């Protein structure tokens, strides 16, 4: 079930996700929450404080998701996928893969080619050639992964972080639509120094928040189905 929550405080949304997950039972329908947050930095469970490079007036909130530090702000669609993985019939690795796949399909809706990078969850684009369909040499494969993720010529457009409790997953993915990207310069995004970030507007896709949320929500609902 898709639930559009609109602009909501991050900490309040996190608390609501935790409560939903703690109180759900075997027959509780899965939900996908579509949100937008006021400016906030969030730090994952294993996150290192050193990845916040400068103090700002943007609050830093500790989160129980995986991953390092990221930024949420107006103009970004944050989709929280609250899924009973046991009932859905897949494990957390596939859950992550399916979320990324939904983002790739969302970008493809506007002709943009998104990419996975081996060893670095999330979705990336070539900011200078967002409609180029050429595959990345650094894409995930069944062979030996690179020693470190290769972000050459790439910028991150969607960040991902998840949490699983009693076989139920929550948190999800943030897609940059049309936002102030400058706060990303105050952090090492997702723990990677110098990682570039972008949004749909910057690469030439001019869509509103509601339209982007509708497309991403529909792609997630289809992709995360059992």
**Is 190 an annotated catalytic residue?**
yes
Per DSSP, the chain holds a count of helices (H) and strands (E) of: 4, 10
Could you tell me which of 72, 95, 70, 56 has the C-alpha nearest to residue 177?
Answer: 72
Q: Catalytic pick from 13, 35, 168, 190?
A: 190
* Rounded Cα distance, 104 and 117, in Å: 13
Helix boundaries (H) for 72-125: 85-88, 92-109
Could you tell me which of 58, 92, 4, 21 has the C-alpha nearest to residue 184?
Answer: 58
3-state DSSP call for residue 195?
Answer: coil
State the catalytic residues. Answer: 190
């Amino acid at each position: 079930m898709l639930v559009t929550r609109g602009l909501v405080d991050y900490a309040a949304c996190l608390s609501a996700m935790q409560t939903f997950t703690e109180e759900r039972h075997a027959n509780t329908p899965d939900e996908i929450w579509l949100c937008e947050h006021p400016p906030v930095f969030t730090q994952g469970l294993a996150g290192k404080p050193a990845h916040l490079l400068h103090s700002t007036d943007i609050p830093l909130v500790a989160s129980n998701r995986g991953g390092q530090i990221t930024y949420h702000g107006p103009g970004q669609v944050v989709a929280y996928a609250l899924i009973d993985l046991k009932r859905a019939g897949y494990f957390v690795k596939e859950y992550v893969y399916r979320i990324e796949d939904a983002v790739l399909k969302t970008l493809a809706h506007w002709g943009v080619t998104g990419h996975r990078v081996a060893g670095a969850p999330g979705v990336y684009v070539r900011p200078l050639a967002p409609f180029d369909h050429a595959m990345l040499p650094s894409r995930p494969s069944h062979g030996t992964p690179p020693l470190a993720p290769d972000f050459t010529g790439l910028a991150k457009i969607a960040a991902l972080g998840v949490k699983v409790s009693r076989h139920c997953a929550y948190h999800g993915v943030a897609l940059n639509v049309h936002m102030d990207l400058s706060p990303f310069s105050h952090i090492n995004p997702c723990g990677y120094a110098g990682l570039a970030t972008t949004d749909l507007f910057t690469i030439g896709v001019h869509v509103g928040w509601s339209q982007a949320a509708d497309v991403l929500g529909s792609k997630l609902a289809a992709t995360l189905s059992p």
